[in-house]
Each structure stands twice: as structure tokens, then as C-alpha cells.
A = this chain, B = another copy of it.
Amino acid sequence: MSEPLRIALAGLGTVGAGTLALLRANAEPIARRAGRPLTVVAASARDRKRKRSVDLRGIDWHDDAAAMASRPGIDVVVELIGGSDGIARRVVETAIEHGKHVVTANKALLAHHGTDLAKRAEAKNVSLGFEAAVAGGIPILKVLREGLAGNQIRRIYGILNGTCNYILTQMRDERRDFADVLADAQRLGYAEADPGFDLDGTDTAHKLALLAAVAFGGAVDLDGIHIEGIRHVSARDIEYAAALGYTIKLLGVARPTDHGLEQRVHPCMVPQAAPIAHVEGVFNAVVVEGDAVGRLMLEGRGAGAEPTASAVVADLVDIAAGRGAPGFGVPASVLHAGKTAAMARHRGAYYMRLMVSDRPGVIADVAAALRDQDVSMEQMLQRGRAAAGEAVPVVITTHETEEAAMLRAVTAIGALATVLEPPCLIRIENL
């Protein structure tokens, strides 16, 4: 067997410790698949004295992760610090600069600087692996890059944030409100104390930017993503969704259109018969629609120490075996900054819930506003009647239309005197 692959671990939090533990626990099968042993020779973390679940004896300690990334005797630096800039970025750039391969789970870093880092890595002829940055243990980047290399991708979409999916699943199954379920999720450790990054769609957008770049061979375009979170999804809308045959999921969706690449993160009504509708709780899933393969779905754990470590080790094995593919599937030099489709040009169907005063003529006014924008109604639901002065919900679904037209109609509808609250709009994804 050849020389060991010498690894430096920057960051020893949950994922860092998990990676070290996995490399040790499965050292023998890993070496068999890699053709050589994988050995952690150096490590760095903020606090050397912190109590850790892993034994660091025999591993060179570095207080300065960037200094570690430049030292000799290391083949690959694993960056598990996190953050789009600061120390994480410095470690990765330093490692590449010094001719070392890099493996990272850092989606923020890649989403902001991925194209630049891929170019740097290529110039130095080293690998940049970031399988762990998207959908945790699901090897979706390898599948896109290699397993589906014969395909042109028509659309890619996924449930990429376990916190949001857990909350939406709980809201549906237990008919509870957002705030209530969120508080529970925080208590259980499924949501951060500061959950904005997850709930507002930022985390999903980071992952979508990377998925889209690999799927469509473009430069990472985080700024081109339309982002909405799940805070405005109500228990009432989840109930209506079920009545209409849908489930509400926070999806990241990317597809090439005539207007450029469309990338969007928002709550979606997905048909209950679609496989992704059955992805529940903290699980993640990615669906790829390829021209040859058709619909392919991967479902698994999108976070956690062990699933993330699984992805990190897979990248390390590829490097050890000498089969590191370009991180984005094609040479960084050909990653083109393509056109971004404006969200206003999005075409799709819509769900709209209105709270109206229950009096004759309301529906006629709403229908007229839709007609004025050439938006065609598919279904209308009005259940129950309200006491005088009380608001009653009216739910309307539309046929496929352009987002700009729909928004104009919604503005007109929201301005009606009989419409008592701002309309709630949720896109329907045709799967």
C-alpha cells in the first residue's frame, strides 16, 4: 500500500471531531477503498483546552490554523471552521496557495467565493472538495458531476434545510402554529437559538447556489437567487394545502429558462403524490431531472456530525485515490457567468389565500382583478361563513402564469375594500 494521505484538520467542533472519529473507526475499509491509509497528522481549533470526545494524542496541535495550512508534511487541509470569510477563507486560500488539496463543509464560503476558490485550486493543480457543504451525507455533488455526466439537467430542486422541513412537518402533523413548533425545535436542538439563517432561506440559498453551479456548469451566483423563508406559512395554509392535494415544503429550485438561469428559494405547494412530498422531518432530499435519466431523487440526512463526516471522508478518499474531479464538474476556466432570470419572469401556478368580508360581490371583484392580468383561475374554495364583520378565508389556485402578472393582480386584490388582510401567496411547483 502507498504512503498515507496526510490530513490537517482545521476546526474540531461537532463535524471536525466527527470526521476524526470516523477516519479512525473505519480506518481499515477506508484505506482499502482509497488504496492507502488516511491519517490526520495535524489539527487546529480555537481552544486547545476544551474537553473533546476525541483523543488528540499523536496529532500536531496548531493554535494558528492558517499557519498549519502552510506547513510542510501535509497533503490536504480539511476546513471545518465555518463562515464565509475571516479565518476559514484564509485557511482555504493559504492551503491552496501552498499546493495542498482542500476539503470543506463550508457552504457560506463556497457560495460566496466558490468560483474564485475553484480557479485558485485549478491553478495550483489541487482538488477542492465540498460534498459536505450541500445536503450533508447525500453525495449529490458527485452524482451530478459524475454519475449524471451524460445528462443535460432540466431542473434541480431540493429540501435542503432540515430545520425548516422539521418545522413544516410538525406544523402539518400536529396542526400547530409556527412559533409554537419553532420553540419546540429550539428546545430539541433542531433549530438554532438564532434561527434566521435557516428560517429565512439563506442556508438553503447557499446550497442551491452550489447545486446549480454544478448542475448547469455556471459560476456560483448567490446574488441571482430569489429568497423567501417560511415565517409567513400559517397552519391555516398548511390545512388548505392538504385539502387541495398538496404539501408545503421549503424548496430550492434551479432551472435554465429562456430568460436565463432561474434560482429561487421559497415555500412551495408540492403535489402529495410527488416523491419529495414524503420527505419528512429533518431529512433532506434533492431531485434531479436529467434529459436521459429522467427524475432521480436522493434522500438522506442533511446535517449532523456523522452524515457530514461521511461526505468529508468521501472527498478525502477521492483525493487519496487520485480521482479528484474538478469541484464544479468542469474546469473552473469554463464556469461562465450566465444570464440570471428575473423572478418577475417566473412562470408557475399560484395559491392565494384572502381574508375577506363575507358579502356578495367579493369573489366577482377578485375574479375581475385576476382576469385583468390574464391570470386564469383553476380552483376556488370558500368554506364556512363568518359572522357580520368577521373575515372569512377564500382560497384560489391559478393555472400557470407569469409572476409579474400575478403580483399585479395581487396588488389590485389587496387594495379591495372587502379584502381585509394582505393576500397570502404561495407558489405551486409542478412536479
Contacts and interface: CB of A to CB of B under 8 A. Distances in A.
B149 A317 contact: yes
Contact of A296 (B35, B138, B142): B138
Contact of A29 (B35, B217, B311): B217
Given A149-B313, A318-B146, A299 B297 contact: yes
A310 B137 contact: no
B329 A33 contact: yes
A321 interface: yes
Contact of A309 (B131, B150, B309): B150
A330 B146 contact: no
18 contacts: A26-B292, A29-B217, A30-B149, A32-B330, A33-B149, A35-B331, A147-B311, A149-B317, A149-B318, A150-B316, A150-B317, A275-B279, A278-B278, A292-B309, A296-B298, A296-B300, A299-B299, A323-B325
A143 B145 CA distance: 12
Given A32-B330, A142-B143, A293-B307, 8 more contacts: A32-B334, A33-B146, A35-B331, A137-B290, A137-B292, A149-B313, A294-B301, A296-B298
B297 A298 contact: yes
How many copies altogether?
Answer: 2
B298 A30 contact: no
A217 B31 CA distance: 13
B150 A139 contact: no
A408 B313 CA distance: 46
Nearest to A151: B310
Interface residues of A, number: 60
B278 A292 contact: no
Interface in A188-246: 217
A184 interface: no
Interface string A282-324: 0000000011111111111100101101111110111001110
Given A30-B149, A150-B313, A300-B297, A292 B306 contact: yes
